[in-house]
Structure 1
Amino acid sequence: MYDLHDIVEMKKPHPCGTNRWEIVRMGMDIRIKCLGCGHLILLSRREFEKKMKKMLEKATPEDNTK
């Protein structure tokens, strides 16, 4: 599964050219941040799960204290 501050890959790349996203907010909606340009996107949990391709990096315990 995924958690706060994990790095994920989405099915479609962002227009800036990168496809690495950090999960910055979780709840009913999930906010992800493009690691290339810093753009933030808010998706419903259902839409996020449909568009996510795979998990790239798991967050470390230090990341979750931010």
Structure 2
Amino acid sequence: MNLGSWPYGDPQYHLPGDIPERVDLENLRLSTQLILAAILDIDEAGEHVFDAIRHAHATP
């Protein structure tokens, strides 16, 4: 789950001071890279990506 800059949120978020110049571009780049890597990992694993989770939660 990506929560942006939480817990260090911008106090101007969704307020008049929320302007493009305040965007942390390095954080945006890293967040985008992380999300893309996760998507590609899930895509590569196909239907088996959640097998370990299913196995861990299976009732004996």
Answer whether TM exceeds 0.5 for this pair. Answer: no
Higher strand share: 1
- TM-score tier by shorter-chain length is under 0.3
Scaled by the length of structure 2, what TM-score is found? Answer: 0.26
Q: Which has the larger radius of gyration?
A: 2
Scaled by the length of structure 1, what TM-score is found? Answer: 0.25
